[in-house]
Amino acid sequence: MPVSRATVQKCLPVIAQAIDDLEPKARRGGRIVYVGAGTSRRLGVLDASEIPPTFSASSEQFVALIAGGDVALRHAQEAAEDDVEAGREDLKALNLNLDLDSLIGIAASGRTTYVLSCLAFAKSLGCITIGVACCNPSAMSSSGSVDFMISAVTGPEVVTGSTRMKAGTATKLVLNMLKSGGVGDSVGLWGVLVSEAVAVAVAMAVEDIALTPMALMHASS
In a domain, 63, yes or no: yes
Of the candidates 23, 50, 78, 89, the residue annotated as catalytic is 50
Which residues, at least 6 apart from 134, have a Cβ–Cβ distance to it below 8 Å?
108, 109, 110, 151, 152, 153, 154, 163, 166, 167, 170, 171
| In-domain check, residue 120 | yes
Indicate the SS3 state at residue 128: strand
60 is catalytic: no
pLDDT by residue for the chain (221 residues), tens only, comes to: 555 567 888 999 999 999 999 999 988 999 999 998 766 666 767 777 777 777 667 778 888 887 766 655 555 556 556 678 888 999 999 999 999 999 999 999 999 999 999 999 999 999 999 999 999 999 999 999 999 999 999 877 665 555 556 788 888 889 888 888 877 655 544 444 443 333 333 344 344 444 445 555 555 55
Is residue 138 in some structural domain?
A: yes
What domain range includes position 70?
5-216
What pLDDT was estimated at residue 64?
A: 87
Please count the helices (runs of H) and the strands (runs of E) in the chain.
7, 5
Strand order in the sheet with 32-36: 62-66, 32-36, 102-106, 128-133, 148-151
- pLDDT of the residue at 164: 59
Do residues 152 and 170 make contact, with C-beta atoms less than 8 angstroms apart?
yes
For residue 145, give the nearest of 106, 177, 117, 166 by alpha carbon: 117
pLDDT of residue 136: 94
Considering only CA atoms, which of 180, 170, 178, 181 is closest in space to residue 205? 170
In angstroms, the CA 50 to CA 72 distance is 19
Q: What's the predicted TM-score (pTM) here?
A: 0.78
Annotated catalytic residue within 23, 81, 89, 207: 81
Q: What is the pLDDT of residue 195?
A: 37
Helix axes 39-55, 166-178, angle to 10 degrees: 30
Q: In the chain, what is the straight-line distance between the N-terminal and C-terminal CA atoms, in Å?
A: 33
pLDDT in the model for residue 120: 97
Residue 100, domain member (yes or no): yes
Assigned domain for 221 exists: no
Give the single-character DSSP code of 105. E
**CATH no. for residue 56?**
3.40.50.10490
- Give the pLDDT confidence score for residue 105 in this predicted structure: 96
Strands 32-36 and 62-66: parallel
Residue 30 lies in a domain: yes
Q: How many domains does the chain have?
A: 1
Neighbours of 187 (CB within 10 A): 15
